[in-house]
Structure 1
Amino acid sequence: MVGISVPFAGRGVIGLPGSPFGEHRPNDYHLELAGEGRVWYQDYFSAQDGIIAEIEEDVRTWLLGLTYTVSGDGMIAATKAAADAGVDLASMDPIDVIRAGPLCMADGARLKDTFVYPETMPAWFTDADLDFYTGEFERSGFGGPLSFYHNIDNDWHDLADQEGKPLSAPALFIGGQYDVGTTWGAEAIARAHEVMSDYRGTHMVADVGHWIQREAPDETNRLLLEFLGGLRQ
C-alpha cells in the first residue's frame, strides 16, 4: 500500500491536526478548524451549489488557478511572499497557517478569490493538459467529483468498525515538501508506525506541492519501483 499525499489510517479521510486518525466526525471538525466566520473548503465543496456556480463561470481559468495555487511553484511563491512581509510560517501554529491559507475562506467569499496564476505555464502542466481537463469537466460536470466531499461523514461512519485495527500490509508514504495534504497530515505521518506494522518509511519530495506525481514523475516512479522491488525481499 502506498499513500501519496493523503495518509489513510484508521477512520481518517485525512489526518488533520488534532484528528490524525479520524477521531472526530469530519464535518464537526471542519467547523472547529475553520474558526468563526470562516468556511473550510471541504464544507464549501460539500454544499456543491456555490462551488459549482463559481467554477462554471470560467472552468478553464478556475482549474488553472486551483492547480497552480496548491502546486509547489505556487506554494513556494506564497511562502516567499509571506517571508518578504515578515511572516515566518514555520513558527506559526499549524491551525493558524491553515486558516490563513487559500483553502479556508471568509463567509461569503469564493475559493478563487485567493488563487494565484503562473506567468507562463509550468512544464508539468501545459496548455494542452489544461485544455484536456477543461474539456473533460465541461463534458462530465462537477457533481460527481464533489460528491466525495458531500459523503465524507458517511465514509467516516461506514469505516467505524475499522477503528483501532492495524494495517498489516507493507506501506509507504510519499509526500511533497509544499503539499497542503502532507502538511496537514504531519502528525498522522509521524505516527504512522503506530497503526502500520510494516511501515516502509516516509519520503518527502523536495519543492513539489499537491500534484506530486505530475510535478515530480521521475522521483515518484523511482520511489514506487523501489518500494515494489522491496516486497520481493
Structure 2
Amino acid sequence: MENYVSIWPVVILALIHFFGTRLRFLAGVPRSIWLSGAGGVSVAYVFLHLFPELSEGQEHVEQLNVAETFLSHHVYLVALIGLAVFYGLERIVVEQRYQQKKKEHVEPRHEQGFFWLHIGSFAIYNALIGYILFQREEESLQNLLLFSVAMALHFIVNDFGLQEHHKNSYRRYGRWVLVAALIMGWGIGFVVELPEALVALVLAFVGGGVILNVLKEELPKERESRYWAFALGAGLYAILLLSL
C-alpha cells in the first residue's frame, strides 16, 4: 500500500474525539437536528451498503469449520450479537445513572468500573472500525469514502452520548483511549491480514453496534429528538448510496 490514503479518515475520526467537547451548538434539548441527521446517515449506510456486503461475505463465512453448525446460514447473527452487546452495556450505564438520581450510594470504585467497562467496549469498537478503514483502502477509494463519512457522523453521535454519561471522566481519559484504540486498529492492518470470512464478521458486529448506538441516542423521550432530521439524513444518504 503506497499512499496510505486511509490515514486521513483516521485523523479526522481522531479529531472528532479531540474536539467533540467544543461543539457546543450540538448540545441541549431538544436534540440537535445535526445529531439526528448524522444518526440517520449512519443507519442508512449500514442497511444499504454494509448489510448487502454481508450477504456477499456469507460465502466466505461458510468456509469456516465452525460455520457449519453455527453460522452456516446467518452471518447476521454476529450483527445481532453486536447490537445485543451494546444494548447490555447501555442498560448497565442507564441503571447506574438511575441509582444516582435516587441518591443511593454508589461506591467510587464501582462507578469507575462502569466507566472503564463502557469505554473499554467502545475502544474495541473503535479498533475494529480502524481496521476496517485500512481494509477499505485495499478495496476501493469509493468504499473508503462512503464508510468514512458514515463513521465520522456516527462518531459525533457517540461522542456526545459518552460525554453525557461520563462527563469529566470521558473528557480527561475516555476520549484519549478511544483515539488510541482507533489508531491501533488501523495500525494492526499493516501486520495482520484477516481472512475475508473474519472481515465479514467484523463488519457484521460493527453494523449491529452502529444501529444500537444510533437508536439509543434518538429514542429517549427526554431527548426530544427530531425525527424529521433523522429521516432526512437517512433519506439523503440512501439516495446517494443507491445512485452509485
TM-score, structure 1 as length reference:
0.27
TM-score, structure 2 as length reference:
0.26
Higher relative contact order (CA 8 A, sep 6+): 2
- More strand per residue: 1
